[in-house]
Every structure is written in structure tokens, then in C-alpha cells.
Structure 1
């Protein structure tokens, strides 16, 4: 299966890169959770999910579709699906126990 990004970054403005939310909702399925990690998610691992639909499972029990646009040393930010719309959102990688990207 090929990779088709759900959206493209918009034109950078004044030295910063602005991103638009995906133009379509996420897939209608919930993937099966992979093995949970004991420690923080490795930012290098989630970096491979940039601009892709990604399902996140958090330590607090929350789970949701997410499209990461930035991965830092201890956080990831992007667009989270609320069930009706995409909102900009960030999460500490130490709070993510598992993720799966498509």
C-alpha cells in the first residue's frame, strides 16, 4: 500500500512553516494496538509518522487519530481528530504508550 499524505504544508510565512489540517477525516477503523512501551516513545520512531494518519494510545487511556507535523525531543504536535473536526494539539511523548501510522 502506498503512502498518500492527508495534506500538504502551506507556504511558509515570515520564516515559519504554517500547516493546514487534513482535508478529510481519518480512516473509519481503529487499528489493533501494538505492544505498549514501558517508557517514553522514541521521537525517532514516531518521526516516521510525520504527515500520516496516526492512531495514538496514551497512558491515561485516551486514544485518537492524529496527524503529526512536528516531532521534538520530548513532544509531538499536529492535528487531533475530535470526531467532527481536526484541532491543533501537542502531547508529551512520555504520555504515549503506543502508536500506529498509515
Structure 2
């Protein structure tokens, strides 16, 4: 079964039923109380209160076919720069790391927006 934002049912099982019900369908807005600029920041569950670091990191030289969520777990509640298999890259602030997916806040250049992605799409990353 597909789970909005998180991708796979086994990841949905780790999310409280209340939290799961609050999320809008893909392409929708975050639920009330989870604003694009909300409380939280490092150590919290809302979007960071300011922009990510102003640098754009260099991608590591060795690439893998897929990233396991265990490798990304230390980046939870920290800034992370992510390169995807389609060539796009962005700053993020992770609030959830599941077995096959991650979610949190993605910087779109002006503000934080909620996102979720399958870890198989991640080509490389670096935590800050």
C-alpha cells in the first residue's frame, strides 16, 4: 500500500495514526499547525526558523546505487544537502527517517516546504 509523503506502508506504521490522518494528499498544503515557517528548528518538529547554510556543498566522489535509511538517520533534526538520481539537489531538514523513506522540510530558495521521498532516489548527501 502507498502512503502519502512516506511511500511505503511499513513506514506509515511508525507514524502515529493521528499524525498520518493530518497530512493532506500529495501536492496539498501541510496540515494546520505545521506551517511552512513554524516553531521548532534544530531539535523540534517544525520547519527551521531561518534559511539553511548559505554554502552549496560539493558532491562526494563515490556514488552508490541507493542510500540506506540507516546512513541518513544521523542527519535527522540537522541540515542535510541531498542530491537525487534525477540531478536535482537541495537543502533539507529531516524530521522523519523510515526504513525506505525520509521526510521533513525542503528549502525551495525562499521558504521551507514539507516533503517526503523514497531513499532509493538519493544519490548522495552530506549532513551539517
TM-score, normalised to structure 1's length?
0.81
Higher strand share: 1
**Does the CA contact (< 8 Å) of 2:106 and 2:114 recur in 1?**
yes
Give RMSD over aligned pairs. Answer: 1.5
5+ unaligned residues in a row in structure 1: which ranges? 10-18
How far the C-alpha of 1:7 sits from its partner, in A, is 2.7
Return the alpha-carbon distance in structure 1 between the equivalents of residues 64 and 76 of structure 2: 23
Residue 25 of structure 2 corresponds to: none
**Does the CA contact (< 8 Å) of 1:35 and 1:98 recur in 2?**
no
- 1:15-30 to structure 2, matched below 5 A, reads 19-30=45-56
Residue 63 of structure 1 corresponds to: 89
How far the C-alpha of 1:20 sits from its partner, in A, is 1.0
Return the alpha-carbon distance in structure 2 between the equivalents of residues 40 and 56 of structure 1: 13
How far the C-alpha of 1:40 sits from its partner, in A, is 1.6
Higher helix share: 2
Return the alpha-carbon distance in structure 2 between the equivalents of residues 90 and 59 of structure 1: 15
- Counterpart of 1:48 in 2: which secondary structure? helix
Q: 1:38/1:7 Cα in 2 relative to 1: closer, same or farther (>3 Å)?
A: closer
Query: Is 1:85 the equivalent of 2:111?
Result: yes
**Does the CA contact (< 8 Å) of 1:8 and 1:20 recur in 2?**
no
